[in-house]
Each structure stands twice: as structure tokens, then as C-alpha cells.
């Protein structure tokens, strides 16, 4: 099978500045200013075409950062990311224009993704149907409920038929019926041989859905392997972590974050 996503030794550095003047100096002068914070400390993994990979880890592990880098939204600080095919990131907040109607948002979003007028006309009915917006489709998005907004965002993202899909906690949108429908859609994608990255805290969905699990901890890969092997270990760890006292948790975090790159 060919490689779909290849991530090699990727790091992501955020700068923590003491003040605005430090930020300015850092941008325009050659010398480095500000304190470095590494959200990712050298991540490597590979995904073959058609694999479904789950990202797990406690808060601050770097799951979202890594998925944003793969999606091309955030630039990596060092390392290499190679992606073969069109990537679509499905996140809860989907960047719709509040003043425009649902229909206009569909057109605008598809336009920005590079579809022609005719292609958009063809895609539109499918998106509207999937989003279950009915008569609201010609109302401005700002009058939508949050569930309606995320349904529309989700419907647009899945209908454009990308090769690689990154789902960041998005399967919990809307009511139960819709999230089931969304889950079915993902299963369809899986069957169609698309590469899927699945970021979620729900180990139940992980178990049902993924082939492999990438366990991140403090910006590092702790384990990577078949779901059957890794997920039970992660589950056990979570139980252990939950049982820690507040101070123990804090120590654990501090220890993990202070590790060098």
C-alpha cells in the first residue's frame, strides 16, 4: 500500500513573550527573543492509504496541533510532513460567515476550496440534504443554533470528497441521530479506502473505528501501533491518571513537559 501521510521528526515551537516589545523584536530582528515552548517535540509516524488512525492523549499532548499541521493550517517548526492527496479537516468550529445564508455559505466555501460553479451546483443539494436544514437553508447563518451550524460545516466538509480526512472531535456534533449519521458517513469513507485521522477522547468510538492508535504525550509519541494493543494500555493509563491527586497530576505534567527535545 502506498504511503498517504508521512510525518518525520516534526516539532512545533510556540513563542511565549513577556511583552509586546519582545514579540516585535523577535519578528524583525535576527536574534531570538521570547521563551520557547514546544507543543510537539519530534513526532514521526506514517499512515498508509486507507488506514484509520486515532490520536489519543490527555489535554496538552499535542493532538490538535499535530492534526492542524497535517491539515496544512499550522506551519511546522522543523521536520517534514508529506501528504499525498487532498486533506479536509473537520472541526467543530467551521468558519461560516454569519451574515450570509446557509446556501451562500455553501457556495462560498466550495468556491474557496477550488470548485467551479457547475461542480458547486451539483454538490449543493447533497450538502443541504445531509445537513438537514430544510427551510432554514435560505436564512442567515447567524440565526442558526450551534447544532445547525456544526451540521452545515460537517456536511460541507464531507461532501467535497477529500482523500484524507481529519476529524477533530467533530463526531459529537448535533443530536444523537445526527452524530450517528456522521459516524456512518465516516464508516463509508473508511470502506472507500480513504485515510482518516480521528482525534477524540471517546475510547468507545476509537475502538469501533480505528485500525491504529497514536498515543501522544507532552508533544511526543508514547506508543504507536494496532488499536487492539495500544488502546487497552491507554485506557489503563487514563484510569491511573484519573486516580492521581491534583498535586500528583501537576507533578506528572511538569515532569513530562520539562523533558528535552
| Residues ≥6 apart with Cβ < 8 Å to 209 | 52, 54, 183, 186, 187, 190, 198
User: In what side-by-side order are the strands of the sheet with 3-16?
Assistant: 35-48, 3-16, 78-83
Q: How far apart are CA 218 and CA 249, in angstroms?
A: 13
Nearest distance in Å: CB 94, other proteins: 9
Nearest distance in Å: CB 192, other proteins: 22
Nearer to other proteins among residue 70 and residue 231 (C-beta) = 70
Nearest distance in Å: CB 179, other proteins: 24
- The residue ranges that bind other proteins (CB under 8 A) are 14, 23-24, 27, 71-75, 87, 89, 95, 97, 99-100, 104, 107-108, 111-114, 140
Nearer to other proteins among residue 116 and residue 255 (C-beta) = 116
Q: Which three cell numbers stand for residue 76?
A: 511546522
Q: Are the CB atoms for 78 and 12 separated by under 8 Å?
A: no
Q: Which three cell numbers stand for residue 107?
A: 457556495
Q: Which three cell numbers stand for residue 2?
A: 502506498
Nearer to other proteins among residue 68 and residue 210 (C-beta) = 68
Q: Which three cell numbers stand for residue 259?
A: 523533558
Q: How far apart are CA 221 and CA 11, in angstroms?
A: 12
CA angle 212, 159, 165 (to 5 degrees): 20
For residue 208, count other CB atoms closer than 10 A to its CB: 11
Nearest distance in Å: CB 240, other proteins: 35
3-class SS of residue 76: coil
Nearest distance in Å: CB 83, other proteins: 12
Nearer to other proteins among residue 153 and residue 174 (C-beta) = 153
Nearer to other proteins among residue 117 and residue 246 (C-beta) = 117
For 44-100, give the DSSP string.
EEEEETT-EEEEE-STTSSHHHHHHHHHTSSPPSEEEEEE-S-EEEEES-----TTS
Nearer to other proteins among residue 102 and residue 212 (C-beta) = 102
Nearest distance in Å: CB 35, other proteins: 15
Nearer to other proteins among residue 116 and residue 251 (C-beta) = 116
Q: Are the CB atoms for 186 and 174 separated by under 8 Å?
A: no
Q: Are the CB atoms for 10 and 89 separated by under 8 Å?
A: no
Nearest distance in Å: CB 77, other proteins: 9
Amino acid at each position: 500500500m502506498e504511503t498517504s501521510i508521512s510525518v518525520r521528526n516534526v516539532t512545533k515551537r510556540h513563542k511565549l513573550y513577556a511583552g509586546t516589545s519582545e514579540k516585535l523584536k523577535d519578528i524583525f530582528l535576527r536574534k531570538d527573543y521570547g521563551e520557547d515552548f514546544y507543543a510537539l517535540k519530534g513526532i514521526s509516524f506514517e499512515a498508509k492509504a486507507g488506514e484509520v488512525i486515532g490520536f489519543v492523549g490527555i489535554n496538552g499532548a499535542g493532538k490538535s496541533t499535530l492534526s492542524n499541521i497535517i491539515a496544512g493550517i499550522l506551519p511546522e517548526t522543523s521536520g517534514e510532513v508529506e501528504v499525498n492527496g487532498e486533506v479536509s479537516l473537520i472541526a467543530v468550529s467551521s468558519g461560516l460567515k454569519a451574515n450570509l445564508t446557509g446556501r451562500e455559505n455553501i457556495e462560498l466555501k466550495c468556491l474557496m476550496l477550488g470548485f467551479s460553479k457547475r461542480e458547486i451546483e451539483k454538490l449543493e443539494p447533497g450538502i443541504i440534504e445531509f445537513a438537514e436544514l430544510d427551510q432554514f437553508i435560505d436564512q442567515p447563518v447567524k440565526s442558526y443554533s450551534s447544532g445547525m451550524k456544526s451540521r452545515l460545516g460537517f456536511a460541507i466538509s464531507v461532501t467535497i470528497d477529500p482523500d484524507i480526512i481529519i476529524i477533530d472531535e467533530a463526531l459529537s456534533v448535533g443530536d444523537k441521530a445526527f452524530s450517528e449519521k456522521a459516524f456512518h458517513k465516516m464508516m463509508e469513507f473508511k470502506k472507500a479506502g480513504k485515510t482518516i485521522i480521528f482525534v477524540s477522547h471517546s475510547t468507545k468510538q476509537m475502538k469501533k473505528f480505528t485500525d491504529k492508535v497514536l498515543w501522544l504525550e507532552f508533544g511526543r509519541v508514547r506508543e504507536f501501533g494496532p488499536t487492539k494493543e495500544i488502546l487497552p494500555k491507554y485506557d489503563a493509563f487514563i484510569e491511573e491518571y484519573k486516580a492521581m491527586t491534583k498535586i500528583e497530576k501537576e507533578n506528572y505534567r511538569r515532569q513530562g513537559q520539562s523533558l528535552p527535545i
